[in-house]
Amino acid sequence: ASARARPRVLLLCSPCMGHLIPFSELARCLVADHGLAATLLFASARSTPSEQYLVVAASVPAEGVDLVALPVPTPADALPADASVRDRATHAVAASVPRVRDIARSLAATAPLVAFVVDMIGAPAHGVAKELGVPFYTFFTSPWMLLSLETYAGFLVMAKDAARADGILVNTFRELEPAVGDGADGVKLPPVHAVGPLVWTRPVSKDRDHHCLSWLDQQPRGSVVYVSFGSGGTLTWQQTAELALGLELSQHRFIWAIKRPDQDTANGAFFGTSHHGGEEDAMEFLPEGFIARTRGLGLVLHSWAPQTAILGHVSVGCFVTHCGWNSTLESVSNGVPMVAWPLYAEQKMNAAMMEAQAKVAIRINVENDRFITKKEIESVLRRVMKGEEADRLRRQIGELKDKAVYALSKGGYSTSALAQFCFG
Ligand code: UDP
């Protein structure tokens, strides 16, 4: 059969990078391991996407995966300027349904459509699948635990929408979340398949030559602390400065993928008037002399960090992370122990799961947004990098990594689950 006639999966992803990454990885697996073709539609919330988003979009594999950017909602149906990120994403997906319908119809005319997979806010596209008689799946890019917590008010509506699908795919694996598929009281669930960990496996094009990788080549094994709070996470300026001092105090080698501190909580005088986010700008919120004093000891990266390549490098000894689910899975998949520093809701749950259940992280106590001192930072880095506790964490995450690899191997749970999804 020609490639055109290959059974095809249609995927629809909302405009969030934390979703686009696992979605593109899912599409890649379906094509590479299960012989399907895939069309990945991604909604756009803004006419000028961020640089990071473009980097990711440009790296979605071309072979067998068609990537289609959906048009941005027109100004006529624009949201108020202060609309939340989630409202914007939901709106972008809902506004794109007519275009999705057209695409789905024309694809269905050329090849059998195996399934239509949407993310948690893709429910408005349910009708398109119904019209075409195609099974409708939700791909949940967060841990199962979040979906199963009904009491978790913000996700109640989404959990109910997800439960109306013909099936749910979850980016997790059984050995990490043995309860996957167990529902919450009173919710009747469709079949649930754990298909992960689907993490960003290929370096994005410009990652390979990134200077931090040749720097890592020169550092001793397991000696470097990698610090990142994800694509959007920011600390206050005071906390950013204190983290710098904590890193310095620890005297561990480090790579810090830094973001401009949260401006709302910033001291205006400290920032001055310029907010353009360029390299020099990026330095101004660090303690005076920090860059000079830590030269040779650490690297501060201001824009896109090649995170999966960093985590896969033998010189990296721990990951100070906000516990976004992609970052968490990437750390697990590379066997790197974590210092869990969650910033908002779901991340706190992930942090607790990594510390208490999986026992592969030490959690920083961030209750009530309390300030974390440089001494605490220095102390947690000491615990995670050296000594008995560090050995235990390393052993534990090594075992979990092996289980993750197994889940994705031929015969592993996640591979079988995906095969079942593809071929019924
Ligand atoms: N990421 C990266 N470089 C950066 C920032 C982020 O590679 O400088 C990737 C990271 O590897 C992960 C994703 O972006 O795959 C972030 O997703 P996560 O769920 O961890 O957090 P979010 O950004 O959604 O808060």
In this prediction, residue 20 carries a pLDDT of 87
CA distance 36 to 6: 6
- How close is the Cα of 364 to the center of ligand 1, in Å? 20
Least confident range from 152-166, 322-336, 354-368: namely: 152-166
As a whole number, mean pLDDT of residues 19-30 equals: 91
Residue of 231, 304, 343 to test ligand 1 pocket, by largest number of atoms within 8 Å of CB: 231
In this prediction, residue 9 carries a pLDDT of 97
CA distance to 142, 180, 404, 407, per residue, from 174 (Å) = 14, 7, 9, 8
In this prediction, residue 160 carries a pLDDT of 74
CB 122 within 8 A of CB 104: no
With tokens 């990945």, the residue in question is 40
As a whole number, mean pLDDT of residues 242-251 equals: 98
Residue 261's DSSP bridge partners are none
- pLDDT: is 415 or 158 the higher one? 415
In this prediction, residue 190 carries a pLDDT of 86
In this prediction, residue 396 carries a pLDDT of 98
CA distance 12 to 42: 6
350 lines ligand 1 (CB under 6 A): no
**229: pLDDT confidence band, cut at 50, 70 and 90?**
very high
In this prediction, residue 333 carries a pLDDT of 97
The per-residue pLDDT for range 34-43, each reduced to its tens digit, is 999 999 998 8
Tokens read off for 160: 């109910």
**76: pLDDT confidence band, cut at 50, 70 and 90?**
low
- How close is the Cα of 231 to the center of ligand 1, in Å? 5
DSSP character string of 116-156? EEE-TT-GGGHHHHHHHT--EEEEE-S-HHHHH-TT-GGGH
53 lines ligand 1 (CB under 6 A): no
Catalytic residue (one of 91, 119, 210, 313): 119
The per-residue pLDDT for range 80-130, each reduced to its tens digit, is 878 887 788 888 888 999 999 999 999 999 999 999 999 988 989 999 999
The per-residue pLDDT for range 250-279, each reduced to its tens digit, is 999 999 999 888 764 433 333 333 333 444
In this prediction, residue 267 carries a pLDDT of 35
**Is the reported ipTM for this assembly greater than 0.90?**
yes
CA distance 53 to 60: 11
**199: pLDDT confidence band, cut at 50, 70 and 90?**
very high
As a whole number, mean pLDDT of residues 348-354 equals: 96
Q: Where are the alpha helices (DSSP H) in 232-344?
A: 237-250, 268-271, 279-283, 290-293, 307-311, 325-333
333 lines ligand 1 (CB under 6 A): no
The per-residue pLDDT for range 57-73, each reduced to its tens digit, is 777 666 778 988 888 87
CA distance 109 to 124: 22
CB 121 within 8 A of CB 88: no
In this prediction, residue 278 carries a pLDDT of 47
Q: Are strands 338-340 and 316-321 parallel, antiparallel or unpaired?
A: parallel
17 lines ligand 1 (CB under 6 A): yes
| 338 closest CA partner among 346, 330, 184 | 330
CA distance 241 to 270: 11
Q: pLDDT exceeding 90 applies to what percent of the chain?
A: 59
- pLDDT: is 32 or 75 the higher one? 32
334 lines ligand 1 (CB under 6 A): no
As a whole number, mean pLDDT of residues 21-27 equals: 91
In this prediction, residue 274 carries a pLDDT of 33
CA distance 168 to 170: 6
CA distance 63 to 38: 10
In this prediction, residue 335 carries a pLDDT of 98
CA distance 327 to 322: 8
Residues 6+ apart with CB under 8 A from 245: 287, 290, 374, 377
Average pLDDT, the chain: 86
| 343 closest CA partner among 232, 199, 264 | 232
The per-residue pLDDT for range 375-408, each reduced to its tens digit, is 999 999 999 999 999 999 999 999 999 999 999 9
- How close is the Cα of 107 to the center of ligand 1, in Å? 31
CA-closest residue to ligand 1 atom 2: 307
The per-residue pLDDT for range 312-323, each reduced to its tens digit, is 999 999 999 999
Phi, psi of 298 (to 5 degrees): -150, 170
- pLDDT: is 18 or 193 the higher one? 193
Residue 119 designated active-site: yes
pLDDT of 357 over the 90 cut: yes
207 lines ligand 1 (CB under 6 A): no
Residue 210 designated active-site: no
Residue of 326, 332, 333, 348 to test ligand 1 pocket, by largest number of atoms within 8 Å of CB: 326
- How close is the Cα of 314 to the center of ligand 1, in Å? 20
In this prediction, residue 392 carries a pLDDT of 98
pLDDT of 341 over the 80 cut: yes
In this prediction, residue 271 carries a pLDDT of 32
As a whole number, mean pLDDT of residues 236-256 equals: 96
- How close is the Cα of 230 to the center of ligand 1, in Å? 4
pLDDT of 7 over the 90 cut: yes
